Amino acid sequence: MAFKPANNIQDLQYFGEFGGVNPSISDSSTYTFLSAKTMFDTFEGNADGCYLYSRHSSPSNLYLGEALAAMEGTETANVSASGMGAITPVLLQLCGSGDHIVSSRTIYGGTYAFLKNFTPRFNIATSFVDITKLDAVEAAITEKTKVLYCESVSNPLLEVADIKDLAALAKKHNLKLVVDNTFSPLSISPAILGADVVIHSLTKFINGSSDTVGGVVCGTQEFINDLRNVNSGASMLLGATMDSLRASSVLKNLRTLHIRIQQHSKNALYLAERFEQLGLKTVYPGLASHPSHTLFKSMMNAAYGFGGILTLDVGSAEKANALMELMQNKNLGYLAVSLGFYKTLFSAPGSSTSSEIPEEEQKEMGLSEGLIRFSIGLDDDIERSFQTMKSCMISLDILK
| Secondary structure of residue 335 in the 3-state scheme | strand
> Site map for ligand PLP, 34-73, x if CB under 6 A?
----------------------------------------
- Residue of 126, 203, 267, 282 interacting with ligand PLP (CB under 6 A): 203
Q: Minimal distance in Å, beta carbon 53 to ligand PLP?
A: 23
**∠ Cα 70 74 78 (to 5°):** 85
For the chain, the residue count is: 400
Question: Which residues have CB under 8 Å from 255's CB, separation 6+?
Answer: 9, 10
Based on CB atoms, which residue is closest to ligand PLP, 157 or 389?
A: 157
The one among 59, 65, 89, 215 contacting ligand PLP by CB under 6 A: 215
- Using the rule CB under 6 A, is 180 a contact of ligand PLP? yes
Q: Which residues lie across from 313 on neighbouring strands?
A: 281, 371
Nearest residue (CB) to ligand PLP, 90 versus 332: 90
Stretch that binds ligand PLP, among 123-131, 198-206, 231-239, 373-381 (CB under 6 A): 198-206
Nearer Cβ to ligand PLP (58/155): 155
Q: Do 392 and 330 meet the contact criterion of CB atoms below 8 Å apart?
A: yes
Contact 44, 102 (CB under 8 A): no
Q: Is 373 in the site for ligand PLP (CB under 6 A)?
A: no
The footprint of ligand PLP on this chain (CB under 6 A) covers a number of residues equal to 16
Contact between 101 and 145 (Cβ < 8 Å): yes
The binder of ligand PLP chosen from 104, 201, 207, 368 (CB under 6 A): 201
Could you say which of 213, 218, 268, 309 contacts ligand PLP (CB under 6 A)?
213
Cross-sheet strand order for the sheet of 344-347: 281-283, 309-313, 371-375, 344-347, 333-335
Residue 84 binds to ligand PLP (criterion: CB under 6 A): yes
Strands of 76-80's sheet in order across: 76-80, 215-219, 197-201, 176-180, 145-151, 100-104, 125-129
Told to check if 243 binds ligand PLP by CB under 6 A, we report no
Q: Which of 61, 82, 126, 385 binds ligand PLP (CB under 6 A)?
A: 82
In whole angstroms, how close is the CB of 241 to ligand PLP at the nearest point?
A: 14
Tell me the residue number closest to ligand PLP, measured at CB.
Answer: 83
Annotate each residue in 107-126 with x if it binds ligand PLP (CB under 6 A) or - if it does not, as one string: -x-xx---------------
- Tell me which amino acid residue 104 is: S
Query: Taking CB under 6 A as the rule, which mask of x and - marks residues 154-173 in contact with ligand PLP?
Result: -x------------------
Q: Work out which of 100, 105, 176, 204 binds ligand PLP, going by CB under 6 A.
A: 204
Which stretch, 41-49, 57-65, 201-209, 289-297, contacts ligand PLP (CB under 6 A)? Answer: 201-209
Give the integer Cα–Cα distance in Å for 50 and 68.
21
- CA–CA gap between residue 42 and residue 2 (Å, rounded): 39
Please give the C-alpha separations between residue 170 and each of 94, 106, 167, 225, in angstroms, as whole numbers: 14, 19, 5, 22
Q: Which is closer to ligand PLP, CB of 204 or CB of 258? A: 204
**Distance (Å, whole) CA 361 – CA 130:** 12
C-alpha dihedral over 219, 113, 319, 159, to 10 degrees? Answer: -40
Q: Where are the beta strands (DSSP E) in the chain?
A: 76-80, 100-104, 125-129, 145-151, 176-180, 197-201, 215-219, 281-283, 309-313, 333-335, 344-347, 371-375
Q: Which of 42, 182, 249, 282 binds ligand PLP (CB under 6 A)?
A: 182
Is the separation of the CB atoms in 323 and 344 below 8 Å? no
105 binds ligand PLP (CB under 6 A): no
- C-beta of 58 vs 207, nearer to ligand PLP: 207
Region from 81-89, 91-99, 128-136, 281-289 binding ligand PLP, contact rule CB under 6 A: 81-89
CA-wise closest residue to 109 among 49, 154, 72: 154
Site residues (vs ligand PLP, CB under 6 A): 82-84, 108, 110-111, 151, 155, 180, 182-183, 201, 203-204, 213, 215
